[in-house]
Amino acid sequence: MFILKGCPKCKGDLAAETNLSRLTDDADIACLQCGYYLRPDEQHRLFARLVPVTRRPQRASSFHYAASRSA
């Protein structure tokens, strides 16, 4: 997962990294530009302000309607 411009230190891009050495944490969040690792409290604040993206249903195309009326 990437979080663009989310680094509190340099405003760089963050990435979730899998860490196999610590079995209690699944992922660490690190900045791709400066290498800063977010502390657990920073991670909680970051995830609290993220908004899940939902897709809007697509409307029927007006082109189909116009083509059927002209025939």
pLDDT at 70 over 60: no
pLDDT tens-digit series, residues 39-65:
988 888 888 887 776 777 777 665 555
In b/e form, how buried is each residue of 12-38, taking b as 16+ CB within 10 angstroms?
bebeeeeeeeeeeeeeebbbeeeebeb
Mean pLDDT along residues 10-29 = 70
Q: Tell me if 57 sits within 8 A of 23, measured CB to CB.
A: no
pTM confidence score: 0.57
> Nearest-CA neighbor of 31 among 45, 11, 60?
11
